[in-house]
Amino acid sequence: MISKIGVIGAGQMGTGISHVCALAGFDVRLTDVSQDALDKGMAVIDHNMSRQVTRERITEADKDAGLARIVPSTGMEHFGDCDLVVEAATEDEKVKRQILVDLCPHLTPECIVASNTSSISITRLGAATDRPGKFIGMHFMNPVPLMKLVELIRGIATNEDTYQAVRAVVDTLEKTSVPAEDFPAFIVNRILMPMINEAVYTLYEGVGGVEAIDTAMRLGANHPMGPLELADFVGLDTVLAIMQVLYEGLADSKYRPCPLLVKYVEAGWLGRKTNRGFYDYTNDPPIPTR
Ligand SMILES: NC(=O)c1ccc[n+]([C@@H]2O[C@H](COP(=O)([O-])OP(=O)(O)OC[C@H]3O[C@@H](n4cnc5c(N)ncnc54)[C@H](O)[C@@H]3O)[C@@H](O)[C@H]2O)c1
């Protein structure tokens, strides 16, 4: 029975996961290497819960109880009594493997470890732990409080008890789980990221400008957001990292990351989180950059 959940990484996803777990009644331990990220993360959770209060989705008392259930810290020591730890740090295999190596000695043998990776092999990450049978992919969507789906990915060693325990957590969060096999980028991003990458190629080749591409896909394909707007929302570094995993993992040139995407990331233009990506967010409404 899972009651205490650890979350590693207080970025967009870690804060969202902490938010929904706390509101569902789980005790949450949130960690980041950066105190600044942790402070910002807690402020984001507070802000997002307040918005839910304003929209009458939750009460002020729910918000207060939820916030009180989240304990932030920069160390991993406070994961010692967790039943499940969800890793949601930067999408970089080396970073994640190191986190898992550092994490395991702090855990009870029963604790399940999950990764929110968007694309990296669950089998390989599981092998970096001392418990591959109790390791699983738990891929939440962004923004976590709004998005209903969680992909559950079994590595080759993941056992059935682990899968069922994590599935029960997803049910408690009132989200829908979908099983996906352990192939690069699983289901959602295997389909979504090549589309975003193709939108960047469309921009790169001058077929259309930022606004034309996003408007075309919103009105022509009935997508709620244009692909470039969505790329800024996800984070261009994360989009690039996923395309690289697809390109290398499936060894097919159709997944080649667009050179313009690479350039934006090299420039530090990572989308909303840095106030500039395909749009400039220092203006309201944001201005297309091309
Ligand atoms: N952004 C999305 O739309 C999305 C959707 C689903 C899954 N994901 C996945 O979730 C994970 C996190 O993505 P994000 O968008 O929240 O990224 P982010 O850049 O917003 O946050 C990552 C956080 O991890 C922290 N971090 C880095 N190294 C760490 C370490 N060693 N220990 C603890 N914390 C560390 C960073 O300080 C940062 O706060 C990635 O694996 C990503 O692929 C992202």
Q: Are both 204 and 82 inside the same structural domain?
A: no
Torsion on CA atoms 103, 104, 107, 109, rounded to nearest 10: 160
Residues 172, 39 share a domain: yes
Q: Domain ends where: 123, 157, 181?
A: 181
Q: Which of 32, 99, 104, 122 to mutate to test the pocket of ligand 1 (most atoms within 8 A of CB)?
A: 32
Same domain, 114 and 230: no
Contact present, 184 and 252 (Cβ < 8 Å): no
Residues taking part in catalysis = 118, 139, 151, 189
Residue 1, pLDDT score: 86
Q: Write the CATH number for 281.
A: 1.10.1040.10
pLDDT, position 119: 87
The burial class, CB within 10 Å (0-12 / 13-18 / 19+), for 14 is buried
Residues 155 and 218 in one domain: no
> How many degrees, rounded to 5, is the angle at CA 261 between CA 256 and CA 264?
155
Centroid of ligand 1 to alpha carbon of 90 (angstroms): 4
Instruction: Verify that 240 and 176 share a domain, yes or no.
Output: no
Residue span of the structural domain in which 272 resides: 190-288
Ligand 1 interacting residues, C-beta cut-off 6 A = 8-14, 31-34, 37, 88-91, 95, 99, 116-118, 139-142, 234-235, 238
The answer on 153 and 28 residing in a single domain is: yes
Give the annotated binding-site residues. 9-14, 32, 91, 96, 118, 142, 273
Instruction: Write down which residue in 126, 152, 181 finishes a domain.
Output: 181
Cβ atoms of 122 and 97 within 8 Å: the answer is: no
- Residues annotated in a binding site for NAD(+): 9-14, 32, 91, 96, 118, 142, 273
Report the number of distinct structural domains present in the chain.
2
Same domain? 57 vs 201: no
Q: Are residues 110 and 225 in the same domain?
A: no
Ligand 1 atom with the shortest distance to the CA of 16: 16
What CATH number is associated with residue 77?
3.40.50.720
Where a domain ends, among 147, 164, 181? 181
* Same domain flag for 58 and 177: yes
User: How far, in Å, is the centroid of ligand 1 from the Cα of 96?
Assistant: 10
Closest approach atom of ligand 1 to CA 98: 31
β-partners of residue 137 are 115, 153
**Can you tell me which atom of ligand 1 is nearest the CA of 102?**
31
One domain for residues 197 and 277: yes
pLDDT at 19: 98
Residues 8 and 97 occupy one common structural domain: yes
Backbone φ and ψ of 227, nearest 5°: -65, -30
> Are 213 and 128 in the same domain?
no
The rounded distance, in Å, linking the Cα atoms of 256 and 134 is 34
pTM: 0.91
Task: Please report, in tens digits, the pLDDT of each residue of the chain (290 residues total).
Answer: 899 999 999 999 999 999 999 999 999 999 999 999 999 999 999 999 999 999 999 999 999 999 999 999 999 999 999 999 999 999 899 999 999 999 999 999 999 999 999 889 999 999 999 999 999 999 999 999 999 999 999 999 999 999 999 999 999 999 999 999 999 999 999 999 999 999 999 999 999 999 999 999 999 999 999 999 999 999 999 999 999 999 999 999 999 999 999 999 999 999 999 999 999 999 999 999 99
